[in-house]
Amino acid sequence: MALRNSTSNHQDRTPPPVMAVATSRPTTSDLSRHEWFLNRELSLLEFNRRVLDLAKDQKVPLLERLKFLCIVSSNLDEFFEVRVAGLKEQVSHGVEQPGPDGLTPSELLSRIATLTHQLVHEQYTVLNQALIPQLADQRIRFLKRSEWMASHIRWMRRFFSRELLPLLSPVGLDPAHPFPKLLNKSLNFLVTLEGTDAFGRPNGTAIVQVPRSLPRVIRLPSRTATWPHDFAFLSSVIHAFVHQLFPGMHVTGCYQFRVTRNSNLFVDEEDVDDLRRALEGQLPDRRFGDAVRLEVADNCPADMVYFLREQFHLDAHDVYQCHGPVNLHRLMTVPDLVERPDLKFQTFTPSIPATAIPSDDWFDAIRQGDILLHHPYQSFAPVTEFLRQAATDPHVLTIKQTLYRTGADSAIVQSLVDAARGGKEVTVVIELRARFDEEANIELAHDLEEAGAHVVYGVVGHKTHAKMSLVLRREGRLLRHYTHLGTGNYHARNARLYTDFGLLTCDAAIGRDVRRVFQQLTSLGRPGKLKHLLQSPFTLHPTLLKWIGRETDRAKQGRPAHIIAKMNALLEPQIIRALYKASQAGVKIDLIVRGPCALRPGIAGLSEHIRVRSIIGQFLEHSRIFYFLNDGDDRVFLSSADWMDRNFFRRIEVAFPVLDKTLRQRVIEEGLRPYLEDNTHAWILHRDGTYRRQTPGRRTARSAQQWLMKKLVL
């Protein structure tokens, strides 16, 4: 049944708060007004606030709540390294061009600082007032120095002398020892001293840099621990025994701090002969880019904070005082150290569709009909097995593959290596510029080249983000195309954590389309028009605008019209304006946007027919699904592309149709309907840019992810 018959998602609508925007009824001629657009960066902070809500949620298992707290810290790291760093660059170069929302970079930085300080304060409040006490109730303790017993102190003194002291190199600050250049996001201590050193030099300040190899959380051995799971923060241990680094001197203060640096890479792709070599030269600089944020212990005196600010050339609003470890993300190791299944999400075994039961001939299984995989509920194994068989099958002549993120020890990469070594024609398009995976992808490219594969890096100026695998197999007189297309990366671990769709097919037209895209990526010619696939930067954006326009025309004619889109981000202004026009015409529009969304829903005369929701739960929502009612002939496409400028205009992306009617209905019933009916893990976006979590109230509680677990998992 098509989604046009489902109306439950438009019930129980909470009245939105008043928004300070113009009250005149919008017309189609003023859809570019600043007040109709939300800001990307502020929307990203709202996303992290939703993640933090899960760290507070008593219904979420306790150790998983700790993970959500850590995820917020990891997200904020990247936010500062990339988004804030980019804004600071614009300001430093005098670029104050406002975005679609009307905010200049300077105005935006001010708002970001205000909101992020609030968010960080809330993080540490959740840690100290909720998670740590509740973990202690479960006999999982983080011992403060004031709580150490004599046995704890003896063990930790030995631990410091044996494991830490040999690795720590304090740097006393004087004319011969200037302030050291500290690694991005490394843990450091500012130590204040009294007295003179062995050479009779008075020295008041030193820096202690902590190697990244050291764990930030230390588990006490059972013979020393009082409870089953006693932990100490590395920062506490160093603080307690830091005086051993300065014999003969008196330590008057010890304050942990951490600096976040600009991690954007600056490579002019059109002005280099070898992109891989250019990136290799840039990667070391990432660790020492310009400082954009300083995190420091909240007990650090104001004059010492000012001293650090001066070293990093930061303003007061760039300083974030932390009531606890300065890097909460490193607490992510704790759940793995605690054997308490009752405090974690239930483990599960992904299922395999009946049409994809493991066999000795995956090619035969695919010939029987297209295979749709819904991860993580269904296994990623059919994809890895398909490529493993392709690597050894004597009838397979060629394998073509895109790789964006793969993870360590990838079975898919090993299959590509085996195929190349076995004499098959293997072409791999590796995206070297996948942010924070550049180094791993450079090593991957080297390994594949050593095995004899043809490795290319896509198109200058465009990241290759499409998820495609193509196997050409000789079957009698026929050269058959076997294709895998997906919404997520070829990363087996992420396939257990992210929701994505993948399609295995031997449809000849789709196979030819994929082959033409690969030809585009590896050659300089024009491969011709694609029959089924939509591609960025060519046809995806204009086709979506056309389809939105067709639904708009049908609504104007009084015919049913419905658009549903699920994605990670919605930011591109032309698409947003087209959706506003569709809403004004009466098109029913449901948007499931996990992260930032620049569209304002619920504005009378503009977007009252648009509803935006964000689903956040156990798994990271990652699939992109585009649905158009199309006069009852449902049109469903899956894609690797979000509705963002970069995906439409600066990336190689594909969107592919689900041609089989049964599988198309599966996408609707599994990928859209349960998300529109979710009332436990859904946050509704209001016109002022804030989100409110839905609650079931007296209705039956519905969770899309839990429903899919029951439906699809073994």
By annotation, the residues acting in catalysis are: 465
Per the structure block, which two tokens stand in for 316? 């007061």
How many CB atoms within 10 Å of residue 597? Answer: 27
Cα separation, 192 vs 177, in Å, equals 15
Cα separation, 690 vs 706, in Å, equals 26
The enclosing H or E element of 238 equals helix 234-241
Q: Find tokens 């290799």 and name the residue.
A: 280
Cα separation, 669 vs 675, in Å, equals 10
DSSP 382: H
Cα separation, 518 vs 196, in Å, equals 67
Cα separation, 220 vs 206, in Å, equals 29
Count Cα atoms within 13 angstroms, Cβ side, for 409: 1
Cα separation, 595 vs 669, in Å, equals 22
Q: Find tokens 């859809």 and name the residue.
A: 31
Provide CB contacts within 8 A for 632, sequence distance 6+.
Answer: 2, 4, 560
| CB distance 251 to 243 below 8 Å | yes
Cα separation, 492 vs 373, in Å, equals 13
CA 18 to chain CA centroid, Å, is 32
The enclosing H or E element of 123 equals helix 105-126
Per the structure block, which two tokens stand in for 555? 């609504």
Q: Find tokens 């406002």 and name the residue.
A: 98
Cα separation, 304 vs 123, in Å, equals 24
Cα separation, 696 vs 319, in Å, equals 40
Cα separation, 60 vs 47, in Å, equals 18
Per the structure block, which two tokens stand in for 235? 């920062």
The enclosing H or E element of 627 equals strand 624-628
Phi-psi region of 139 (alpha: psi -120 to 50; beta: other; left: phi over 0): left
Cis peptide, bond prior to residue 537, ω within 30 of zero? yes
Cα separation, 194 vs 197, in Å, equals 10
Count Cα atoms within 13 angstroms, Cβ side, for 503: 25
| Residue 507, helix vs strand vs coil | coil
Q: Select from 450, 515, 445 the least CA-distant residue to 479.
A: 515
Per the structure block, which two tokens stand in for 566? 């699920």
How many CB atoms within 10 Å of residue 26? Answer: 19
Residue type at 372 in one-letter notation? L
| CB distance 623 to 610 below 8 Å | no
Provide CB contacts within 8 A for 229, sequence distance 6+.
Answer: 139, 140, 141, 219, 337, 338, 340
Per the structure block, which two tokens stand in for 15? 């009245």
Cis peptide, bond prior to residue 376, ω within 30 of zero? yes
| Residue 4, helix vs strand vs coil | helix
Beta-ladder partners of 625: 566, 638
